[in-house]
Amino acid sequence: MKFEIIVSNNSESFLLKNNETGTEAEVYAFGALMNKFAIKKDGKLINVVDGYASPKDAKVRITDGFKSAKLSPFVCRLAKQGEFSFEGKNYKTGKTYMNGSAIHGLIYDEVFSLVSTNADDNKATLVLQYNYNKTNQGFPFTYSIEVSYTLSEKNQLTVESKVTNLSKTNMPINDGWHPYFTLGKKIDALEIKFNSKELVEFDEGLLPTGKVSVYNTFNQFKIFGDTFLDNCFTLNNFTEAAFQVRDKETGVELSIYPATSYPFLQVYTPPERMSIAVENLSGVPDSFNNHKGLITLQPAECKHFTTTYQLRVL
C-alpha cells in the first residue's frame, strides 16, 4: 500500500507514512501529541516539529514548554489561579500554574487509548481517545475527546479533535494545540507570514484586556528577525494559510490551515529562538472568564476542531 501506519510494540507511538514520497508523521499516545512531521528532500528527512526523544522523554519534560500539548478543556491561561463561573456556579481548576494563572488545561499529560488505524493507497488515519472524569481537579464535567490524525496526498497532515459532553449538565469547553516548529536554525533567519487581522491586547499577566488592535506586520512573507511574540491574533479569513514559515536554504515550507473552529492564533517565540510555537485556538486565553470564544456543550452534544499542516519542498 502507498500509506501505512507502524505501531510500536507497546502502542506508545505511531508512525504514519507515505511510502512513495517518504513523508511521515509520528504521534504519541501520551497526550495524543504530534512529535514529528517530516518531508523528504534530496533523500534526507527534514522534521519540522520540535519534539521529544521518546514518549518517556515527553512524560518527563511536557511541562517544560508544553511542546505539542493538547489544550483542553481550557486553553493558555485561566486567571485567578484557575477560578471561573459557569451558569451560576463558581469553580477553581488547574494542574500547572504560572504567574497567578492556571495554564494549558488538564489533559496534556494523559495517555490516550488507541481506537483504530486505517491505511490504504489514499491516506493513513490514526484515531486516539481519552475520557475525562477527574472531578477532583475542579472541573466536575465528564467528556470524551477523540483525536484523529490523517496523513494524505500533497504532504498534508489533518488533525481533528472531537469533543463530546458526557455530563448530564451543560459544560464549558475550549480546544487547542501547542506545537513548536523548527527548520533547524534560529527563527530570526526564517521567512514568516501569518494571516492576522487583529492583535488581542494583553495585560502584564498575558491575559486579554478586552481590546484589540490592527496587526498586519506579517501579512506578507518577511524575515522574522528579532521579533518577539507571545500574543493572540484573530484571522483575516479561512481561505488561505493562517501561518507559514519557510527557509530557502533548507528548502522547506510549512503552512497551517485551520478550519473555522479555530478562529484564533497564538504565536510564541521561546528564549532560545530555535523554534516557534504556533497554537490554533478555539477561544482566547481566559475565555472561561471573558467568554471570547467560549463554547457551551449541552449533554451528548459534540464539537469538532480541525486544522491541517502541509509541507512543501521549495
pLDDT at 136: 84
Using pLDDT thresholds of 50, 70 and 90, give the confidence band for residue 90. Answer: very high
Q: What is the average per-residue pLDDT within 9-16?
A: 95
Q: What is the average per-residue pLDDT within 11-16?
A: 97
Using pLDDT thresholds of 50, 70 and 90, give the confidence band for residue 102. Answer: very high
Q: What is the average per-residue pLDDT within 263-287?
A: 97
Q: How many domains does the chain have?
A: 1
pLDDT at 9: 87
pLDDT at 135: 82
Are 244 and 253 spatial neighbours (Cβ–Cβ below 8 Å)?
Answer: yes
Q: What is the average per-residue pLDDT within 73-85?
A: 97
Q: What is the average per-residue pLDDT within 262-274?
A: 97
What proportion of the chain, given as a percentage, has pLDDT over 90? 99
pLDDT at 54: 96
Determine the Cα–Cα distance for residues 81 and 185; give it in Å rounded to an integer.
36
| CATH number of residue 263's parent domain | 2.70.98.10
- pLDDT tens digits along 107-132: 999 999 999 999 999 999 999 999 99
pLDDT at 40: 96
pLDDT at 23: 98
* Residue 234 pLDDT greater than 90, yes or no: yes
Q: Which of 10, 309, 303, 299 is nearest to 142 (CA)?
A: 299
pLDDT at 213: 96
- pLDDT tens digits along 135-192: 889 999 999 999 999 999 999 999 999 999 999 999 999 999 999 999 999 999 999 9
Are 152 and 158 spatial neighbours (Cβ–Cβ below 8 Å)?
Answer: yes
Which cell numbers in the block locate residue 131?
475520557
Q: Which domain holds residue 267?
A: 3-313
- pLDDT tens digits along 198-221: 999 999 999 999 999 999 999 999
- pLDDT tens digits along 21-72: 999 999 999 999 999 999 999 999 999 999 999 999 999 999 999 999 999 9
Q: What is the average per-residue pLDDT within 91-103?
A: 96
pLDDT at 96: 96
Which cell numbers in the block locate residue 198?
487583529
Q: What is the 3-state secondary structure (H, E, C) of the chain?
A: CCEEEEECCCCCEEEEEECCCCCEEEEECECCCEEEEEEEECCEEEECECCCCCHHHHHHHCCCCCCCEEECCCCCEEHHHHEEEECCEEEECCCCEECCEEECCCCCCCECEEEEEEECCCEEEEEEEEEECCHHHCCCCCEEEEEEEEEEHHHEEEEEEEEEECCCCCEEECCEEECEECCCCCHHHCEEEECEEEEEEECCCCCEEEEEEECCCCCCCEECCCCCCEEEEEECCCCCCCEEEEECCCCEEEEEEECCCCCEEEEECCCCCCCEEEEEECCCCCHHHHCCCCEEECCCCEEEEEEEEEEEEC
pLDDT at 296: 98
The average confidence (pLDDT) of the chain is 97
Are 265 and 145 spatial neighbours (Cβ–Cβ below 8 Å)?
Answer: no
